[in-house]
């Protein structure tokens, strides 16, 4: 059921196909859409019939990483007292030629069984560019399977012009790179395993890659107690050094995922206002911000690999990239397929399953709604939302 979110002078309804603006008079006192709006929006928010089937494949190219971030959900614990270096992590494994070929064959079988025509491939780690050769093999093999979308999650430290152009030629379309606040804070959190800062190395790589390729570049800004206050300074610095028109940006809260990372932010209305203001600052600087529509994860939204799979480098299947490599969360292998339902069911977890916010879904929903309303109010005032004609029964309805 579509739920309205209060904006400045309207209600916003986030759907799977778009975002819809409803006047204040279209929502009841208890916060529900009036019947005319609800019916029309439910009809409007249906996917067009006859679309080709997609299969979503996330491959953990390697679980190894050249950074030692304390909050990573692949950590198995904090750095020991009086010790130095990176936190302990899930078992180290990486793709080889034979395992990459086996993953591509598994993907072919999955797509054939589901009559899927389009492949959505995500290259994940660890740090996937540590095995650039296997990233290229996956992309090239994916082209033979109907590769229609290809994305990489990278820390950006090794994403120079050579790697980026090779990946783009092989079919990669977009890359997400993370910052942990402005330079001083980032360099205290997002360090190499030897403890060195990475901010300016990443920034230089992004400058060069944005000038040399057509890759879509997405900036994820992780927000912790340390980094949130430096968000405005970070946006200013990025806008000075980068061409904002080449980048999108998102601000994401870091939550305790079981590795005893303590510097997390408590959900509150004031935090939502603070993060909403960061989005406005980024939009005003010229960065793109994704329209906050509803979405379903292609891997974990449906149990048992129906719409997609997450494959670790050792060929083990998991429901989510956040559980990949962790004992007790295995749901099959690429050679044998998914395990029986009585095994898979209890192990099937979804995005954010280990975070503290998973235990307070109402607070997380309220936080996201408030941030989304700020973004949508700004986009609407700036004329950045398209309008569609509405039926006479709901004349003030606007769809973005």
Query: Mean pLDDT of all residues in the chain?
Result: 91
pLDDT for position 229: 96
Q: CA nearest 266: which of 223, 320, 324?
A: 223
Q: Band the pLDDT of 51: cuts 50, 70, 90.
A: confident
- Detail the DSSP E strand segments found in 204-278: 216-223, 247-253
Q: How far is CA 348 from each of CA 103, 331, 357, rounded to the nearest angstrom?
A: 20, 8, 18
Based on the domain organization, do 148 and 11 belong to the same domain?
Answer: no
pLDDT for position 82: 46
Q: Band the pLDDT of 371: cuts 50, 70, 90.
A: very high
pLDDT for position 37: 87
**pLDDT of residue 62 exceeding 70:** yes
Q: Is the Cβ–Cβ distance between 264 and 255 less than 8 Å?
A: yes
pLDDT for position 24: 92
Beta-bridge mates of residue 333: 316, 337
What strands lie across the sheet with 337-338, from one edge to the other? 247-253, 216-223, 174-179, 147-154, 118-124, 54-60, 308-311, 316-318, 332-333, 337-338
Could you tell me the two tokens for 4? 């309205």
Is 257 part of any domain? yes
Is 267 part of any domain? yes
Based on the domain organization, do 22 and 138 belong to the same domain?
Answer: no
Domain that holds residue 276: 54-296+353-358
Could you tell me the two tokens for 79? 């750095």
d(CA 221, CA 189): 12
**pLDDT of residue 143 exceeding 50:** yes
Q: Is the Cβ–Cβ distance between 174 and 196 less than 8 Å?
A: no
Based on the domain organization, do 33 and 88 belong to the same domain?
Answer: no
Q: Answer with the residue of higher pLDDT: 2 or 284.
A: 284
d(CA 278, CA 275): 5
Based on the domain organization, do 129 and 213 belong to the same domain?
Answer: yes
Q: Band the pLDDT of 58: cuts 50, 70, 90.
A: very high
Is 305 part of any domain? no
Based on the domain organization, do 199 and 276 belong to the same domain?
Answer: yes
Among 97-106, 121-130, 210-219, 387-396, the least confident range: 387-396
Q: Band the pLDDT of 49: cuts 50, 70, 90.
A: confident
Based on the domain organization, do 144 and 20 belong to the same domain?
Answer: no
pLDDT for position 362: 85
What are the pLDDT digits (tens) for 109-134?
999 999 999 999 999 999 999 999 99
Q: Is the Cβ–Cβ distance between 65 and 280 less than 8 Å?
A: no
pLDDT for position 392: 58
Is 302 part of any domain? no
Is 228 part of any domain? yes
What are the pLDDT digits (tens) for 261-280?
788 899 999 999 999 999 99
The pLDDT > 90 percentage for the chain reads 74
pLDDT for position 274: 97
The domain tally of the chain equals 2
Is 275 part of any domain? yes
Based on the domain organization, do 138 and 208 belong to the same domain?
Answer: yes
Is 340 part of any domain? no
Could you tell me the two tokens for 313? 């480098």
Is 258 part of any domain? yes
d(CA 44, CA 62): 42
What are the pLDDT digits (tens) for 162-213?
999 999 999 999 999 999 999 999 999 999 998 999 999 999 999 999 999 9
Residue at which a domain ends, from 358, 374, 389: 358
Based on the domain organization, do 64 and 31 belong to the same domain?
Answer: no
Based on the domain organization, do 208 and 238 belong to the same domain?
Answer: yes
What is the secondary structure of 296-349 as a DSSP string? Answer: --TTTSSTTSSSEEEE-TTSEEES-TTTTT-TT---EETTTEEPPHHHHHHH--
User: What is the CATH number for 254?
Assistant: 3.20.20.70
Beta-bridge mates of residue 250: 220
Q: Answer with the residue of higher pLDDT: 65 or 259.
A: 65
**pLDDT of residue 378 exceeding 70:** yes
pLDDT for position 89: 92
pLDDT for position 46: 87
Based on the domain organization, do 21 and 92 belong to the same domain?
Answer: no
Based on the domain organization, do 43 and 75 belong to the same domain?
Answer: no
Based on the domain organization, do 128 and 266 belong to the same domain?
Answer: yes
pLDDT for position 44: 85
pLDDT for position 76: 87
């Amino acid at each position: 059921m579509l739920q309205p979110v209060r904006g400045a002078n309207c209600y916003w309804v986030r759907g799977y196909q778009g975002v819809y603006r409803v006047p204040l008079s279209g929502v009841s006192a208890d916060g529900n859409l009036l019947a005319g709006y609800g019916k029309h929006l439910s009809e409007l928010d249906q996917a067009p019939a006859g679309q080709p089937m997609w299969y979503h494949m996330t491959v953990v190219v390697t679980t190894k990483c050249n950074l030692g971030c304390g909050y990573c959900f692949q950590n198995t614990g904090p750095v020991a007292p009086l010790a130095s270096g990176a936190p302990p992590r899930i078992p180290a494994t990486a793709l080889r030629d034979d395992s990459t070929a086996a993953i591509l064959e598994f993907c072919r079988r999955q797509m054939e069984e589901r009559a899927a025509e389009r492949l959505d491939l995500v290259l994940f780690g660890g740090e996937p560019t540590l095995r650039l050769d296997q990233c290229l093999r996956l992309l090239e093999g994916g082209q033979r399977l109907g590769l229609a979308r290809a994305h990489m999650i990278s820390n950006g430290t090794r994403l120079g012009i050579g790697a980026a152009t090779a990946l783009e030629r092989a079919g990669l379309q977009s890359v997400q790179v993370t910052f942990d606040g402005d330079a001083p804070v980032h360099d205290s959190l997002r360090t190499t395993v030897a403890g060195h800062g990475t901010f300016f190395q990443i920034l230089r790589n992004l400058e060069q890659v944005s000038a040399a390729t057509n890759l879509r570049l997405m900036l994820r800004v992780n927000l912790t107690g340390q980094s949130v206050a430096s968000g405005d300074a970070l946006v200013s610095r990025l806008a000075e050094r980068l061409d904002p028109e080449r980048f999108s940006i998102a601000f994401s809260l870091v939550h305790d995922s079981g590795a005893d990372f303590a510097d997390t932010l408590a959900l509150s209305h004031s935090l939502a206002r603070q993060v909403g203001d960061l989005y406005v600052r980024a939009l005003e600087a010229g960065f793109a911000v994704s329209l906050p529509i509803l979405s379903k994860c292609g891997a974990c939204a449906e149990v048992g690999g129906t719409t997609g799979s997450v494959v670790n480098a050792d060929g083990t299947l998991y429901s989510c990239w956040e559980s990949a490599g962790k004992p007790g969360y295995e749901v099959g292998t690429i050679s044998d397929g998914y395990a029986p339902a009585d095994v898979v069911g209890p192990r099937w977890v979804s995005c954010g399953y280990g975070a503290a916010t998973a235990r307070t879904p109402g607070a997380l929903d309220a936080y996201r709604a408030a941030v989304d309303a700020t973004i949508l109010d700004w986009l609407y005032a700036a004329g950045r939302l398209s309008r569609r004609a509405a039926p006479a029964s709901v004349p003030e309805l606007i769809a973005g």
